Amino acid sequence: MSTLNQPGIPLSHAPDGTGYKLLELPPELLELLKGPDPPTLTLHPSPTAALLKTPTKTYSLRQKNTSNALILLAPSLHTDATTSTSAATTTTDSSSDAGLHTIATVHETIELVPEAEAAVAVATPQARGKWHEKFGRGR
């Protein structure tokens, strides 16, 4: 039974300043990377987006912004005097508790779009002429 007298989980917030991006992998690429002989992935530039290439497929990288932030956490050893992010650090203080340490807050994720779909999604607009030519024909 839980009581209100128990302290919560200690949480320290001290981001390390590294800019993290989460990469959302399609299921077929994830299975390929988990396989017994994972391929080498390479990044290439293009005029519209960066490209991630596997031996058989090319993916376009797209950044997606999220309204809800994702917070990356790591276990930490919390004592009354200090907070350590290393799980290997030991202390003789009997009042130490396991806690959480905030590493970073992420607002964007990177999704991989197969290049054939990316070409369809980024269709170039057709020239429609000047607005006065469009409306002048009907008069």
Please give the pLDDT value at position 84: 45
Please give the pLDDT value at position 82: 44
Q: Digits of tens for pLDDT over the chain (139 positions)?
A: 455 566 788 888 878 888 888 898 999 999 999 999 999 999 999 998 899 999 989 999 999 888 888 899 988 865 544 444 444 444 444 445 678 889 998 888 999 999 875 555 555 555 556 665 656 555 5
Please give the pLDDT value at position 19: 85
Is 50 within a domain? yes
Is 79 within a domain? no
- The answer, as to whether pTM is greater than 0.85, is no
| Among candidate residues 106, 114, 120, 108, the one with its CA nearest the CA of residue 27 | 114
Q: What is the DSSP letter of 49?
A: S
Is 135 within a domain? no
Is 37 within a domain? yes
Is 10 within a domain? no
- Report the alpha-carbon distance of residue 18 to residue 23 in Å, rounded: 16
Write out the residue range of the structural domain in which residue 53 sits.
16-67+107-122
Rg (CA), the chain: 25
